[in-house]
């Protein structure tokens, strides 16, 4: 008679061992619940304080508020107004800004203006550092 592919006795003992381990764990849990005098249906966590976690307030239907927020952002991009009137900083519509940029020579005018502003506001470099270099 040929030898079977599966050792039935080993499989049965393994199943019995797993079942016995489950029974032992369940009995241990019931014993601990009894020793701790936990009534059936009790809360899992008995804290002496109220736990409150602050977080974002979620909305069930945020679409109207989102539409309003997007409309406000679009108004900022398409209208002019003062950003800081005391310092003379204003915003202009994107279309106007692009026309002005093209009329002034494009990106080279912006780069020259930015480098001039950076050089004017930057403190003097120490003599041992690289002149005008970045790290």
- SS3 category, 104: coil
62 in a structural domain: no
What is the per-residue pLDDT for 132? 47
CA distances from 29 to 20, 26, 39, 80, 90 (A): 14, 5, 13, 70, 70
Longest dimension (CA), the chain: 102
With CA atoms as reference, report the closest residue to 77 among 61, 94, 64.
94
Domain count, the chain: 2
What is the per-residue pLDDT for 129? 46
22 in a structural domain: yes
Which residues form the domain of 80? Answer: 74-119
50 in a structural domain: no
Model pLDDT for residues 19-54, shown as the tens digit of each residue: 999 999 999 999 998 898 887 777 666 667 777 888
**Model pTM score:** 0.36
Predicted confidence band at 109 (pLDDT cuts at 50, 70, 90)?
Answer: low
67 in a structural domain: no
């Amino acid at each position: 008679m040929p030898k079977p592919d599966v050792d039935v006795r080993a499989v049965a003992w393994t199943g019995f061992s797993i079942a016995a381990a489950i029974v032992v764990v369940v009995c241990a849990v019931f014993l601990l619940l009894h020793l701790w005098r936990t009534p059936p249906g009790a809360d899992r966590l008995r804290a002496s304080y109220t736990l409150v976690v602050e977080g974002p307030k979620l909305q069930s239907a945020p679409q109207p508020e989102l539409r309003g927020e997007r409309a406000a952002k679009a108004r900022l991009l398409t209208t002019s107004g003062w950003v800081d009137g005391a310092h003379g900083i204003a915003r202009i519509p994107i279309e106007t800004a692009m026309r002005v940029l093209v009329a002034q020579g494009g990106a080279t005018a912006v780069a020259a203006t930015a480098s001039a502003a950076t050089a004017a506001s930057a403190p003097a470099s120490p003599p041992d550092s690289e002149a005008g270099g970045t790290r």
